Amino acid sequence: MDSPNVATLVMPKDNARLTGHYASFAAAIAGSQLFEYFDFYTIGFVVALISVPWHLTFGEVATILLATGVGTIVGSLLWGWIGDRFGRRAALMSAILCFALATGISALTPVGWWLLLSVFRFFVGMGTGGTNAAGPPLLIESTPAKYRTIMGGIGTVSLVPIGGLVTSVIVASLGPVLGFRGLLLIGLIPVLAAVWVFFVVPESPRWLASRGRTEEARKNADHLFGPGNWTEVPATDAVQRKESYGTMRRFPRQMATVMLLWLLVDIVFSGVGLWGPTIVSEVLKVTPQHAAGLFIIVTLAGFLGRLTVPLIANRFGRKTAGVITGLAGGILLCLAGFFHVSEFGTVSAFFVFLVCGYIFADGSFTNIVPLSGEMWPASLRVHGQGLGNAMGGVGKIIGPLALAIFANSSNLVSPAATTSAVKPSFLFFGIVILLTAVVFAFIAPETNKKTLEVLNGEAAPEALAADGSLFGGDPVDAPTAPKATTR
């Protein structure tokens, strides 16, 4: 049996090739993110379908939508702790089951019972927050440094817009037939993703080694990378420590980066994602079903951005990519607000600027999500990802709430309300995205193509506690680290 105090780290070589087993592993994690945001986009269309027949007021609509954000905060923090304590794989599977079952069961909500639907949405938010907390660190820790910038973006959240695309297609073609209950029942499909993870995704070798489970770590490394493509090295960070969210204060730069970036991008993501179809419907004077079809273009623009931004980050660095997406996305969303009643010939200027701006604003996620896990030591990596997602949950509340404030109306679904809110809302969203460029330029560390161990060493001077210990945690005494071993 392995000693719980073995100070070793099992990790892929920097030049390790990506095997077929790794490809299946990465696809499973990417797929879990796709299913997660299929649900996120679905509720925006569900609300559009039920608001009139259920006679929902603004407060009731807001409660249904904001419940997801509140649940995300709780779930991100909870699964952040679960992921570092019990493993990334177990956390990912349980989080997927949480949001999938809550979505499917919510289809049984009686007509008019908006408060019960809000409760289901809270649990959906918990599960989605947990999925985002556990999935990216699992992929990041299991990817060679050479490929981590690209795979960390493409393999974690690049497929998220496809979830929105699938939602838009289903609503546009089958919405009137399926009704809101049919749309919610489709939310049970992600249960299959949990089964996929169970059979395909092994636990992170780095995490296993950090818990003293070295033999399991070696076995999983052989499975993912193949013999000879991983190494075992001494690492004081592999010592098991009693970590908590409180000890994260030893990393002030990392905390500021994660909290600010997630808050800012999710304000825009939630505002545009949840209310985008409704706003497009009102500005372009088309039916909700037609707006859902048009929103497919917006979704594809986000997908293009999520595929492109990791390539920019890999070539020029995460900081440069973040500045580019912040400046371009912010300016274009501001222009969408300024010219929302203008046209380029017969094409709405608002729609053109929205599509172009969304390429950068939405694409920034594939830079921010992996960065949020790369900055932390293994013992705090899912805590850090969870903290970011929790702040994203706050952003998911602020985004729709900001639109409500700008509308200055008791009914955000009415045409007058949404039309009057377009200019101030998109100016606000544009400024928010511009602020991400400031964070990247002056606060965020550069992580591109650096090993996680190098990044841990760069963070260590900032992490010294008052008593001189490395995390301010309660370390377990470790024996002398063994010599490096290559397999």
Quote the pLDDT of residue 218: 82
Of 174, 154, 166, residue with least CA distance to 190: 166
Give me the residue label for tokens 């300024």. 338
User: Cα separation of 62 and 231, whole Å?
Assistant: 51
Helix axes 349-363, 288-316, angle to 10 degrees: 40
Residue 237 clears pLDDT 50, i.e. is over it: no
User: Cα separation of 145 and 409, whole Å?
Assistant: 51
Quote the pLDDT of residue 23: 83
Residue 411 clears pLDDT 50, i.e. is over it: no
Q: Stretch 200-214: mean pLDDT, rounded?
A: 83
Percent of the chain scoring above 70 in pLDDT: 81
pTM of the model: 0.80
Quote the pLDDT of residue 354: 93
Average pLDDT of the chain to the nearest whole number? 79
Q: Provide CB contacts within 8 A for 180, sequence distance 6+.
A: 46, 49, 50, 107
Residue 413 pLDDT grade (very low, low, confident, very high; cuts 50, 70, 90): very low
Q: Stretch 339-366: mean pLDDT, rounded?
A: 89
**DSSP code string of 326-363:** HHHHHHHHHHHHHTTT-EETTEEHHHHHHHHHHHHHHH
Quote the pLDDT of residue 257: 95
Q: Stretch 390-398: mean pLDDT, rounded?
A: 85
Per residue in 320-350, pLDDT tens?
Answer: 999 999 999 999 999 998 887 788 878 889 9
- In the beta sheet, which residues pair with residue 347? 344
Quote the pLDDT of residue 376: 84
Residue 359 pLDDT grade (very low, low, confident, very high; cuts 50, 70, 90): very high
- Domains of the chain in sequence order: 19-211+250-465 (1.20.1250.20)
Of 12, 3, 284, residue with least CA distance to 147: 12
